[in-house]
Copies of this chain bind each other. A is one copy, B any other.
Amino acid sequence: MPPISEQNRQPSTTSLSSKGDKVIDPSTYFSTHVPPSNLNASKILVSEFVSKNSKINRPVVLVTSGGTTVPLENNTVRFIDNFSNGNRGAASTERLLEEGYAVIFMHREHSLQPYNRHYTHSAERFLDYFVAGENGEVQINLKYKEKIQTDFEKYSKAINNNQLLMVTFVTLSDYLFLLREVSLTLAAMKRNAMFYLAAAVSDFFIPSHNMSEHKIQSREGNLTLEMNQVPKFLKPLVMNWAPDSYIVSFKLETDPELLVPKARHALSNYGHQIVIANMLHTRKTEVWLIEDKKESHHLQLDSKEAANGVDIELLIIQELVKRHKEWINKN
């Protein structure tokens, strides 16, 4: 693969500063930002959930899902977001539950959620799922009833069996604080824990102390935003927070030249177990599993499967569960 040219890395609207910008440490990030208000409540829920599942020796996986926002103002009117609607994480969670895992589903508020995902971001609106019966009484539209019945049963079972816990974040900062807490708690399960880091986390942010206090005004011309690189939190996660667990990260690109090299670079940099590499426009039908010292493993839906609405997460989770079991037994 050819080296990345300067031109590729420096599109006209961005300038990559060379005056010795340093990416801050994760610890510096935590000491200069305020934790989210729901952190403690989430921590208690996670701790109870891990404890219950540990007792019955059920493996637990943390699935992170959806995008993080980066506020541009302290009184936030505007923020940077990304394309992720959370389908990858939600679909993977359904498969992991089927495989007998307990799942901590740590997701962006209002992003797609397991079993519920089929109803919330579709062309139908909430009230479109109902009709008036003969007596005028509102009831579930028969057209949808069978599907709702199936999803309702699976969803209820997962919740009632302590197999599914949902915790939320919105901003990058919420995400990072919550990730650290959940990781430290889940780490106690050692090799029985998996981390499936499917959330699309921002790469750039504006440190709180540099942010505009009020809504940025527009009447004086162009706007220049200076953003800092987000510290790489995978490093402390792998090295310190949960060093004994099976860790799966994701790499999404739009330039095919960069995909595999960047995935391999992440593996050698952070020393975790596996990277799932995917391209923005084919991510629903095709991924590559990248592991150290192995050929990359290509997974793809055939056209019939894709047309029938099979989720590629079916294939991804099958492969991961196999690898996680082998990895547990090997050690």
Contacts and interface: CB of A to CB of B under 8 A. Distances in A.
Interface of A: 4, 8-9, 11-18, 21, 23, 69, 72-73, 75-83, 110, 113, 115-116, 119-121, 125-127, 130, 132, 137-140, 145, 148-149, 151-153, 155-156, 200, 202-204, 206, 210-230, 252-255, 258, 280-281
A164 B47 CA distance: 48
Given A132-B152, A156-B132, A16 B255 contact: no
Given A203-B218, A214-B8, A215-B253, A127 B145 contact: no
A321 to B, nearest CB: 25
Contact of A204 (B23, B132, B203, B223): B223
B132 A213 contact: no
Contacts of A16: 220-223
Contact of A223 (B149, B156, B227): B227
A116 to B, nearest CB: 4
A171 to B, nearest CB: 12
Contact of A79 (B11, B81, B116, B153): B81
A80 B78 contact: yes
